[in-house]
Amino acid sequence: MSTTIAPVDSPRPTSGAARSLAGRFARPAAAALSGVLLFLSFPPRPLWWLAVPAFALLGWTLRGRRTRAALGLGLLTGLGFMLPLLVWTGEEVGPVPWLALAFAEALFVAAACTGISAVSRLPGWPLWGAALWIAGEAARARVPFGGFPWGKIAFGQADGVFLPLAAAGGTPLLGFAVALCGFGLYETLRRAVAFRRTGTLPRAAAAVALLSLLLPLAGALAARPLVDDSAEDGTATVAAIQGNVPRLGLDFNAQRRAVLDNHARRTEQLAADVAAGREPRPDFVLWPENSSDLDPYRNADARLVIDRAVDAIGVPTVVGAVLTPDTGPLRNTLIEWEPGRGPVDTYDKRHVQPFGEYIPMRSFVRIFNSDVDRVRRDFGPGDEVGVFDLAGTRVGLVTCFEAAFDDAARDTVTHGAQMISVPSNNATFGRSEMTYQQLAMSRVRAVEHSRSVVVPVTSGVSAVIMPDGRIVRETAMFTPDALVAEVPLRSSQTPATRLGVLPEAALLLLAAGALGKAAADAARERRRRAAGAAEAS
């Protein structure tokens, strides 16, 4: 006797279930995508405009979400942004430091997004939401360990139409404008879709949406006259030396003498070119950070090499050196070196890099990564603003990582700097995007304070930047070179320089006020519901 078993069709999800599943993952995917778009808006890609749709997408993702959902969505945005942006931090030490830093920075983004969600039902929410984003940036620029401002939205706008706003209110106003424009774009589209569906359009709400979209663009246009590269105080001819390093990675310091020799040799070659008429004679020369990791005060051979190079070029030279006192921390120091006189002035880097130049919680961190012991002796911060008088030109000094901090460049200008130098050492990070991200910071600082900025780097990219943010000379990476250029000198101060932290403080007050209003509204709604439940019972 045979038995036939009828085939049983596998259950298929209904179209409603499929839509529900897609809806469940739509916002998380959008949150991560908004972060990726923010990353893609940063150099070396000239895609600054992607930040606007990124914030529009983020607005759709967060609007009306509950606190827990907003926190999770914001974390996805932060990871989508910070993981690719900071991948260079693991270039030589593996993924653990990179992942830890990216996650820590993403938590700040998540906190800001939670606040944005809370204010998203208030009238004029794009304004409050943009202010809250800047509040998140302000927090991570200060804590922990002195902060890590890398990835401020303003630093992705060096090629963008919003850049003039840096001269009006610094990086906080510039970043605020980008976020406001993006949130305004989303709100405008949301109102347009609602009008097509219902046929009604509240005038006040529509006006707020359009203003949020268009006001940042109008403000940037109005701020254009603040961007000026005229030579108020004449010009100076400056030379930036890029000596290159013997090899990539953390171990380049093992050949400290070779790095010093490279920079001395390239300076002597420039001197020969000047003598032959192939290059104009510079008024002063700028070497990069770590161009002499041999302390010239304690190593006679290093001092002799520097003396010979400076005497050959015959003009004041700024040398980046590591000073090793008998006791206390190391010093990341810039030394003004005069021909025939030697060292005459110094500047110690004020913002030293945690986990790079010093190791907080060393014994704890060692559990996760033994590379912390490569930093055998911590660097200590200086406490004085660096402005050197180089052949009559007052040059402000902002060493590498300091370019990310708003106060570092501003302090030099308020102390009389007519131009700025940002000596850096990017050799540790190989051919990663780090050097381009940092160069963009210097371009924003040039516009913010209306100063020429010269960036001498050990291994590239070195550059000469005009006060309007244009790069007029630059080097290739890992190529010995010398950039000689005439740059305008300026002494007037932009509104951003004069106002200092006030624009950021005003935005923080806006953010706090909006959060207070949202909390009060939520409390009233809870009381109303409780009263309604009591009446019903």
Q: Which residues are catalytic?
A: 289, 349, 400
Give the closest residue to 394 by CA, choosing from 189, 232, 217, 184.
232
Residue 258: CA atoms inside 13 Å, Cβ hemisphere, count?
Answer: 10
* Exposure string for 100-123, b = 16+ CB within 10 A, e = fewer: bbbeebbbbbbbbbbbbbbbbeee
Q: Which residues fall within 8 angstroms of residue 136, CB to CB, at 6 or more apart?
A: 108, 109, 111, 112, 115
Cα 76 from Cα 182, distance rounded (Å): 18
Give, as one character, the DSSP assignment of residue 246. S
Residue 443 CB burial class (10 angstroms; 0-12, 13-18, ≥19): buried
* Exposure string for 371-400, b = 16+ CB within 10 A, e = fewer: bbeebeeebbebeebbbbebeebbbbbbbb
Give, as one character, the DSSP assignment of residue 46. -
Residue 86: CA atoms inside 13 Å, Cβ hemisphere, count?
Answer: 27
Cα 101 from Cα 39, distance rounded (Å): 16
Q: Residue 472 forms beta bridges with which residues?
A: none
Q: Where are the alpha helices (DSSP H) in 63-202?
A: 67-85, 95-119, 125-140, 165-198
